[in-house]
Amino acid sequence: MKKIIFLVLLAQGAKAQFLGGFFSQQSDKEKLMLTQIAEYDVYLHALKTGYTITQAGLNTAQQLKGGTFNLHTAYFKSLAQVNPVVSNNPKGKAIISVAAKIGTVFSTEVSFQQQQKQLSSAEMTYLRKVYDNLVSKCQTDINDLTAVLTPGKLQLTDQERLDRLDKIYAVMQDKYAFSCSFTAKCHTLATSRAQAKNSKSQLKQLYGIQ
């Protein structure tokens, strides 16, 4: 009887020990799982925070980039505008006026030569060729002037536009000086020939030479 009781107690103790060990193992596993879950939660939180910071940084960089682009765009648009200081510069009208004078100088000379008939056919062709070439170059200058004074045509600062005006004006003045000098020589040549022919005619009349 005592033996049976001992075996029963032994069995109960073993069961209790087994159950205690089992539950202890389960408890350890649960603790491990909870620890791992906590670690994952911390990791995910850190990852999420890092992503948020990174995304915010990217958004800020994008905004800065967009802002810089907008600033550049505004700057370039401002360069395309024409300040009244430039558009009202008297050299703009002066350039057009000088171009008109060049046309008048040559057209007057051509008419004079056609009336005098002192230049040969080849010389008249050369006169007209010089005239046409100069008119073409003047038109190029006028086109440049139009681009400088027209909003949206060129991206230049006010100073650069003023410099362009100065350059075009100087070039046009050179053309005008050339046109005056060239036509004056043509005029002198024709006049000299006319005088020479008149003198020759007078001599013939004086000496009765037919």
| Separation of alpha carbons 170 and 138, rounded Å | 12
pLDDT at 185: 95
Q: With bands split at pLDDT 50, 70 and 90, how would you rate the model's confidence at 197?
A: confident
| Separation of alpha carbons 124 and 106, rounded Å | 12
Strands annotated E in 96-157: none
pLDDT in tens, 108-158: 999 999 999 999 999 999 999 999 999 999 999 999 999 999 998 899 999
- CA 111 from centre of chain: 46
pLDDT at 5: 45
Place of tokens 């005008």: 176
pLDDT in tens, 25-61: 555 555 555 555 555 555 555 545 555 555 555 555 5
- CA 66 from centre of chain: 19
Residue 9 scores a pLDDT above 50: no
pLDDT at 121: 95
